[in-house]
Structure 1
């Protein structure tokens, strides 16, 4: 079966948004490049109406231009290896693929083979979430990773000493990939499939991690608050710096107090603490 190839030029800050949107409508592989993303789906899985709706939604804001083609066969591992470089989050953690050597000088190391899944640490949101995790005591804590993607944040929680880590994602591709990455990093937990309302994790948690997007975060904020222990921490990212006020306004009435924030490439990340 042939793969359809879509070369999408777009603004950098929209790359992961488009990856997330397209993965929801049947696209299973992505390559990021300097101009945007290359997206791939089996011809039999392609939904033209849904695809056109996604492109139309972001075309103006993301300055999208598009080229379509057919790729008969793709060696995804080979293509991915050409486009993946290790990442350094201060001296906290070195994130590498299995084909990269270890590098000394870091407190922790994560091995991630994302196979086109979301969340390699390259994007500003994941980078900032990892950095914020380094500021929170995870030792002996119970941690929930919402929309786990490759599982990188759950793995970080494990390395920081969490006693229990739960993770889930709505994409079965991410779940399979995340469990592979858990195995690579010594986690015995398994990633679950579904939304937070479907998975229904049972609180209370010391730390909740959610790197998704603004609309989902706003919709699920009350659920996160309900799952947190008093004095527990909620780490959020996946939205722009100008959205911080909206997130904070949603969190305050739920007893969540903003205690730290950062921004990178106009993407924001927050640490909130449950006060009541």
Structure 2
């Protein structure tokens, strides 16, 4: 049976209300997606992240009269908001196994030589590799964004055996868990969002990580610890503000890895860390940059 797919542009202030309206009008399913290729990062506590340009999609039974359905949705929206609804894009789509089709979009990804990120429904392509099992998520990342990929590739190229790692802004735990699978002794994960910490815990359980090798904290609870490697995949301005704090968490001779930085911001971030680190040349992918450095011995 074919379906009627309605797609409507929205902004973060009205996307949830539009989703509710489509469900009230009989949608079998409603989803939201990015309409402008804008990456999402860890949200502030208690918030639900949405893109600046969001597309709300409703899937309706094909027995609806399309013209009447669109008219009813526009009328209901005007009654609720006193605003006109943008044009509705209408498509007839064939019946498919939507869940299976979505799953097929996500396949194992290799980073460097040893490290793979593997969706839970796939078998690892290389059973002898470091295989991190993760499922795709909205805000916390599964390695497909350049900022995360650059960090994973750096980890794969290092010998982190026996080292202690801090993953600042840990989100799903992807970087810290990858470090553990590559031989790190212990990871401390820090994030402002309790949901991110729970996601990290769940992913650690999924990957049979010994709970004694991973500690997770909100920033205000972070212990006074130093590490051999500091990973921070957040954003440029927070990284600049946190420079002295993060530097103080790295042992003399230890490594610093920063990401979530636009290429145009790289030099400003580097300058913030140069009092403590010998910084390497930036590594760029698309418009994003990874910065690395080595803590002064003195």
d(CA) in 2 for partners of 1:25 and 1:95?
Answer: 28
2:280 is the alignment partner of 1:259: yes
SS in 1 for 2:280: strand
Distance 1:79 1:236, change over 3 A: farther
Deviation, 1:38, is 5.8
1:213 aligns with 2:239: no
Q: Distance in 1 between matches of 2:217 and 2:162?
A: 25
Are residues 1:194 and 2:205 paired? no
* Residue of structure 2 equivalent to 1:234: 256
Shift of 1:143: 0.6
CA distance in 2, matches of 1:25, 1:67: 32
Q: CA deviation at 1:7?
A: 4.6
Matched, 1:268 2:289: yes
The number of residues matched between the two structures is 231
Residues 42 and 193, structure 2, Cα contact 8 Å, conserved in 1: no
Native 8 Å contact 2:165 2:227 kept in 1: yes
CA–CA distance in 2 between the matches of 1:184 and 1:105?
16
* Counterpart among 101, 122, 141 of residue 123 in structure 2: 101
Distance change >3 Å, CA 194–CA 273, structure 1 → 2: same
1:168 aligns with 2:186: no
Distance across 2 between alignment mates of 1:182 and 1:221: 28
User: Is residue 140 of structure 1 aligned with residue 166 of structure 2?
Assistant: no
**Which deviations, in whole Å up to 9, do the C-alpha atoms of 1:7-42 show, x marking residues without a partner?**
5422x3x323xx545x656216x7x9xxx76689xx
Q: Distance in 2 between matches of 1:126 and 1:194?
A: 21
Query: Is the contact made by 1:27 and 1:39 (CA closer than 8 Å) also made in structure 2?
Result: no
Residue 245 of structure 1 pairs with residue 267 of structure 2 = yes
TM-score by length of 1: 0.73
Q: Secondary structure at the match of 2:282?
A: strand
- Checking the alignment, whether the CA contact within 8 Å between 1:233 and 1:274 is kept in structure 2 is yes
List gaps (5 residues or longer) in structure 1: 41-65, 69-76
SS state of the match for residue 270, structure 2?
A: helix
Instruction: Please list, as runs of the form range in 1=range in 2, the aligned pairs for 1:57-76 lying within 5 A after superposition.
Output: none
Whether contact under 8 Å (2:187, 2:215) holds in the other structure is no
Deviations 1:197-226 (A, max 9, x none): x13232221111000000110111111111
Measure how far apart 1:80 and its partner are.
Answer: 6.3
Contact 1:117 / 1:177 at 8 angstroms: preserved in 2? no
- What is the CA-CA distance between 1:118 and the residue it aligns to? 1.3
Match of 1:53 in 2: none
How far apart are the structure 1 equivalents of 2:137 and 2:167?
Answer: 20
Q: Secondary structure of the equivalent of 1:248? A: helix
- Partner residue in 2 for 1:15: 39
User: Is 2:150 the partner of 1:128?
Assistant: yes
State whether residues 108 and 125 of structure 2, in contact with CA within 8 Å, keep that contact through their aligned partners in structure 1: no
Tell me which moved more, 180-189 or 97-106. Answer: 97-106
Q: For the residues of structure 1 that align with 2:103 and 2:218, how far apart are their CA atoms?
A: 29
Q: Aligned pair in 2 of structure 1 residues 95, 6: CA closer, same or farther (>3 Å)?
A: closer
Paired position in structure 1 for 2:175 = 153
- 1:11-50 aligned within 5 A: 12=37, 14-16=38-40, 19-21=41-43, 26-27=47-48
Q: Structure 2 CA distance, aligned partners of 1:67 and 1:37?
A: 14
Using the alignment, how far apart are the partners of 1:210 and 1:267 within structure 2? Answer: 14
- Answering whether residue 206 of structure 2 is matched by residue 184 of structure 1, we say yes
